[in-house]
Amino acid sequence: MDWSKAKNIIIAAFVITNLFLIFFISRGMLTKGDLQLITPEYITYVANYLNENGITVKTEVPTEILSLPVIEVKYESFDPDEMAASLLGVPNSLVGTDHYKSGDKELIIEDGKRLKFNDYSDRKEIYSFDESNIEEYVTNFLTEHELIRDNLQLSQIHLENDYSKDSIPTYKLVYNQTYKGRFLGESYIYVYVNNKGVVALEAMLLNYQRTYSHKKLTITATDALLRKMSDISRENSSRVAIINIELGYYFDPYDVQETDLKSIEFADAFPAWKITLDNGKEYYVEAIKN
């Protein structure tokens, strides 16, 4: 057997294999578009490092590297008069630009795209809520006022201390829109509920427009965690826990040249990681690999 020739064949095969591997890695095409590269040992290392900086990881950390496209979105516009009639009832008073009041209730629609509702009524407690029955009540409320969307999902329920008054616990329910099973931000509905009913609501909703053809390779979940570690540590005075990390699409309405939301017609939502803490705070990390 010609060992010299065999050695050259082995070397050539090794080079070709690596070239194919690099090709697939660069396009995120291995294993149906997902490439398992992050080892459990490395995830443990990152989790321990975060723990040393006051951040506990209490969720599964995704291991895949994906290629995702950029998508175009458009903010949904609310009709001020229609929403005032729905949330405040008739009659109601226009007291400012898209600012309505009726008794102890008020509605503000900022730039036609951000809806804010508050009910300051000093009414008696009429409900008995906990996390097991509050979702149905809020779903019915959103349906009644035509704020339910097919791609709207409940992502968080937690006690909100800022709204809890007179020893009445107030829950905050966080809803987010999705696109093909991934979160679509920044879109949300925040609903604040206590035993008096819905006391506050804020909403911004997006409409999907189109998908760009070119896909981009994303950074890993561990990379996103490390990039955001300093911000999380600095902005939280006590130890926090990460309860979810997921990959989706995000457009920051404040990261544009326009001076207000009204000027934003269409925008591009880029792949991004969303990190959710046990105190309800959410952090976004751009996921496009540079």
Token pair listed for 29: 């095409």
Residue 282, domain member (yes or no): no
Q: What is the CATH number of the domain that holds 96?
A: 3.30.310.160
Our count of domains for the chain comes to: 3
pTM, to two decimals: 0.81
Task: Give me the domain span that covers residue 198.
Answer: 77-204
What are the pLDDT digits (tens) for 10-66? 443 344 334 434 443 444 334 444 454 688 899 999 999 999 999 999 999 999 889
- Whether 151 and 167 share a structural domain: yes
pLDDT at position 29 = 37
- Whether 101 and 11 share a structural domain: no
C-alpha span between 170 and 163 (Å, rounded): 6
Residue 171, domain member (yes or no): yes
Residue 287, domain member (yes or no): no
Residue 106, domain member (yes or no): yes
- Closest C-alpha to 158, from 142, 134, 140: 134
Token pair listed for 202: 């804020």
- Whether 131 and 168 share a structural domain: yes
- Whether 96 and 160 share a structural domain: yes
- Whether 141 and 193 share a structural domain: yes
Query: Is the CB of residue 131 less than 8 Å from the CB of residue 142?
Result: no
- The single residue listed with the structure tokens 């969720």 is 59
- Whether 91 and 196 share a structural domain: yes
Residue 136, domain member (yes or no): yes
Residue 290, domain member (yes or no): no
Residue 120, domain member (yes or no): yes
- Whether 20 and 48 share a structural domain: no
Percent of the chain with pLDDT over 90: 65
Q: Is 274 helix (H, G, I), strand (E, B) or coil?
A: strand
- Whether 130 and 149 share a structural domain: yes
Say whether pLDDT at 146 is over 50.
yes
pLDDT at position 64 = 86
- Whether 90 and 198 share a structural domain: yes
Query: Is the CB of residue 192 less than 8 Å from the CB of residue 172?
Result: yes
What are the φ and ψ backbone dihedral angles of 281, each rounded to 5 degrees? -70, 145
What are the pLDDT digits (tens) for 74-98? 999 999 999 999 999 998 999 999 9
Q: What is the amino acid identity at position 245?
A: I
